[in-house]
Copies of this chain bind each other. A is one copy, B any other.
């Protein structure tokens, strides 16, 4: 028989329980904050018709990296590289029956065919938070507060990150006076986006438009209101950054990006913006929209940098060791009662020595054990041991949940 490889596909991850627990911590923290703002979860399949990505919905770079193939029925399909086109499709399909404003989130996985490297994998997960149907800056205020509260929930302090904001309208106005066509304007925007990374910005700009371009742009009312409103909510790390472009073609107003100030994670951690016209590709009227996406791989890296990831503990709270076969039924009954009280329990029915049962629980990082034999089952008293602290105490069945939940 030919031996099959145990490798996972290149650039994707296997999640062993310790990896999955970390992933669940990251995703669970995002979910908790977003839900605390009343956002509702939506989802869709990772498979979409390829046509969805062929119009102006996506970043060009993203489109060059898709997993696209033909199904057995001859349909061209793509594994989604981002969520916004899917979200816009879903809103467009039902916008007449949906009640606006809509506050939605999702934590889907994406596929992009790139060379795997730090912070970039071929499959990653991303929180997507979007609000539809609010024209005013109150959408930006709410969604940026959510972004901030998520960072806070991870244990990051204001000084650990900066929220850079800009308004696409400002740069559009600046460019309008120059008499450029669409393609030239796009090139100028791309150059501005790279300003902080290159030395010869003025020269390159002159090569493009015949002269240097002043970027002494003053913030408009939207930018000022946004900064002031967030400050009132205790958020003081928002910075107006007139060179911030954020690549995606579909943005129409405020854009933002969050940066790590430690210097260890150079690229934007995540970002988003206003995209009021995206539904037009489905032949629908425009609907105001503002949102952002926050990836799991990037967040894991930044939390690692700041030593903010929790250490692993087993899903099981309690391991019941059994002294002999005669104790099995009593142990099962105990376990069943505790499970109904929300305690996750494993019963050992291996008939191994108690010492090796305890050793197993300890290696598995299960926090509590108790051992059951004839004595315990007769007296209905048990020694509950915390394997992390070493503390022991005598308890009755009804005491156990409160000790463990503590």
Q: Which residues of B contact A113 (CB under 8 A)?
A: 71-73
B38 touches A344 (CB 8 A): yes
Q: Which of B1, B46, B339 contacts A55 (CB 8 A)?
A: B1
Q: Which residues of B contact A15 (CB under 8 A)?
A: 41-44
Known contacts A55-B2, A232-B329; A20/B38 CB under 8 A: no
B5 touches A37 (CB 8 A): no
The interface centre, meaning the residue of A4, A70, A77 with most chain B CB atoms within 10 A of its CB, is A4
Q: Which residues of B contact A263 (CB under 8 A)?
A: none
Q: Which residues of B contact A396 (CB under 8 A)?
A: none
Q: How far is the CA of A400 from the CA of B289 in the complex (A)?
A: 32
Q: Which of B12, B24, B36, B282 contacts A4 (CB 8 A)?
A: B282
Q: Kindly supply a per-residue 1/0 record for chain A positions 44-70, scoring 1 wherever the CB is within 8 Å of any chain B CB and 0 otherwise.
A: 111111011011110000000001011
A38 touches B316 (CB 8 A): yes
Known contacts A1-B281, A9-B77, A99-B360; A344/B47 CB under 8 A: no
Q: Which residues of B contact A40 (CB under 8 A)?
A: 17, 20-21, 314-316
A104 nearest in chain B by CB position: B17
A90 touches B43 (CB 8 A): no
- Please tell me if A269 contacts chain B, counting CB pairs below 8 Å: no
Q: How far is the CA of A173 from the CA of B201 in the complex (A)?
A: 81
Closest Cβ of chain B to A217, distance in Å, is 28
B123 touches A5 (CB 8 A): no
Known contacts A16-B94, A233-B336, A280-B1; A8/B38 CB under 8 A: no
Q: Kindly supply a per-residue 1/0 record for chain A positions 317-329, scoring 1 wherever the CB is within 8 Å of any chain B CB and 0 otherwise.
A: 1010000000001
Known contacts A14-B44, A345-B36; A282/B6 CB under 8 A: yes
Query: How many copies, total?
Result: 2
Q: Which residues of B contact A23 (CB under 8 A)?
A: 43
A52 nearest in chain B by CB position: B4
Closest Cβ of chain B to A139, distance in Å, is 9
Q: Which residues of B contact A109 (CB under 8 A)?
A: 45-46
Q: Which of B8, B72, B343 contacts A45 (CB 8 A)?
A: B8
Known contacts A9-B48, A67-B71, A363-B99; A93/B39 CB under 8 A: no
Q: Please report which residues of chain A, range 61-117, place their CB below 8 angstroms from some CB of chain B when the two chains form the complex.
A: 67, 69-73, 75, 77, 79, 89-90, 92-94, 99, 101, 103-104, 109, 111, 113
Closest Cβ of chain B to A316, distance in Å, is 3
A5 touches B49 (CB 8 A): yes
Q: Which residues of B contact A390 (CB under 8 A)?
A: none
Known contacts A7-B49, A332-B233; A16/B37 CB under 8 A: no
Known contacts A36-B339, A233-B332, A329-B232; A43/B55 CB under 8 A: no
Known contacts A42-B16, A123-B47; A75/B346 CB under 8 A: no
Q: Which residues of B contact A45 (CB under 8 A)?
A: 8-9, 12-14, 109, 123
